[in-house]
Chain A
């Protein structure tokens, strides 16, 4: 069983819809990352959080440490949001090397 589980694996939405992607993990963590990977492969870091909630533009990320769960929300989705969204966690025992464990990603397709 992967230490980091994402759902759904695939998500298709219409432009304007509110999107939620979920991430559950099984280990104690010191931080959780949400990453975006576009076709072609380049990765962009969207958020790094260890508690609470962060917002950047139309993106919102929340984390519940007790429940070992995080969500990424996209408001007013747009076709340019189409990408793979990846959840990654840094173990609480990771020391100073900040090694990440990745989920398999959620493929989001937003249709116009």
Chain B
């Protein structure tokens, strides 16, 4: 149980375009979802925390107008990278937690390459 999926698993886009990444909890309701970014040989860095039905909380230094997060249902959160630039190329990972449960379940990640 406790499976989190991400779609797509990898995406290549041109500079200036927008890309949407989906994170789904398949067998539980996720009241909280987290979005992370990981650059090569670096640790995961939290970008934002989203709670279902409310605005996401962004970490310092993360542009909320560039990284749009929507958590409209208990099983789906989306991250949209707007006006993507090559420096946005990274591995994006989501995780989800159920109400009252401190365990986080991680998605398989999405590798974004901006050309």
A interface residues, Cβ below 8 angstroms from B: 2, 30-31, 33, 35, 41-45, 48, 86, 88, 90, 96-100, 102-105
Contacts and interface: CB of A to CB of B under 8 A. Distances in A.
Interface in B13-43: 32, 34, 38, 42-43
Nearest to B32: A97
A32 B109 CA distance: 21
**B contact residues, range:** 20 to 34
Contact of B43 (A31, A42, A97, A105): A105
B34 A99 contact: yes
Interface in B90-115: 91, 93, 95, 97, 102-109, 111
Contacts of B103: 45, 48
Contacts of B111: 41
Contacts, number: 54
23 contacts: A2-B43, A30-B102, A31-B102, A35-B106, A41-B93, A41-B108, A41-B109, A41-B111, A42-B106, A42-B109, A43-B108, A45-B105, A45-B106, A86-B43, A97-B49, A98-B97, A98-B102, A98-B104, A99-B46, A99-B49, A100-B46, A102-B45, A104-B42
